[in-house]
């Protein structure tokens, strides 16, 4: 087990050579004084997953491991994890590192009245865009909104996802590049949902407040620098 954690740290703890990664490496999993003043808080302090639990359960499965300031789904079966708190309007930033061919996802406004989180919470895709098998690419709102650009870095490198979710406007940004903008619950939204697989689930996209969820899709994926600012 110790060797596994050390290996994961070696794989996912290394900082890339880009300028963005150099900036992150100064103080990972911490807040600047400016961020504190703006109302940001950490959903991961680099040490434990006390702000998270498994969907419809207490605690976090041991397949989600923390090492070297990173938390990682090390193998299939760790289960989807959700924030202990619920959020309505918010701004979220996180770094993710997906394995070769890997797939995961970030959902928001998740409630626990359905079998799986994605039956209520819209999903922002996380994937290796080169060797992944899903036609939905990283940063897209799954089956609903897709950008015309791809600003992701390859598998094994850190990507920064930044989202703003409010009743008036939702925006996805990947590595500083704006991807999509939409209004949840608008006529355009309703039309896209009706044309998607989510049309079968009456509660999909309806909650205006809920948990943030990180998906167990069976592949190795790591996260760090998970920060949130409540906008309510």
Domain boundaries, the chain: 2-230
- State the CATH class of domain 2-230: mainly beta
Q: What confidence category does residue 26 fall into, taking pLDDT thresholds of 50, 70 and 90?
A: low
Residue 117 has φ and ψ, to the nearest 5°, of: -60, -35
- Name the nearest CA neighbour of 143 among 179, 203, 192: 192
CA 208 to the chain's CA centroid: 18
pLDDT one-digit tens code per residue, 64-78: 999 999 999 999 999
What was the pLDDT predicted at 3?
43
The pTM of the full predicted model, rounded to 2 decimals, is: 0.88
Q: What confidence category does residue 232 fall into, taking pLDDT thresholds of 50, 70 and 90?
A: confident
What was the pLDDT predicted at 27?
82
Inter-residue contact 138 to 159 (CB < 8 Å): yes
């Amino acid at each position: 087990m110790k060797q596994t954690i050390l290996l994961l740290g070696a794989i996912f703890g290394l900082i890339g050579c880009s300028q963005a990664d150099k900036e992150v490496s100064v103080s990972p999993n911490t807040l600047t004084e400016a961020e504190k003043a703006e109302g940001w808080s950490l959903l991961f302090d680099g040490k434990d997953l006390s702000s998270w639990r498994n969907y419809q359960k207490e605690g976090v499965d041991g397949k989600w491991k923390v090492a070297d300031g990173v938390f990682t789904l090390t193998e299939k079966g760790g289960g989807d994890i959700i924030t202990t708190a619920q959020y309505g309007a918010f701004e979220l930033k996180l770094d993710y590192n997906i394995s070769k061919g890997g797939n995961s996802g970030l959902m928001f406004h998740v409630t626990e009245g359905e079998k799986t989180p994605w039956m209520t919470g819209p999903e922002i895709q996380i994937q290796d865009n080169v060797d992944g098998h899903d036609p939905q690419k990283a940063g897209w709102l799954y089956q609903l909104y897709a950008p015309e650009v791809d600003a992701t870095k390859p598998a094994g490198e850190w990507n920064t996802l930044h989202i703003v979710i409010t009743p008036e406007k939702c925006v996805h940004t990947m590595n500083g590049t704006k991807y999509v903008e939409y209004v949840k619950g608008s006529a355009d939204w309703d039309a896209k949902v009706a044309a998607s697989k989510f049309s079968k689930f009456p509660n999909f996209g309806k909650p205006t407040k809920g948990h943030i969820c990180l998906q167990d899709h069976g592949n190795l994926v790591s996260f760090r620098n998970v920060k949130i600012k409540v906008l309510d």
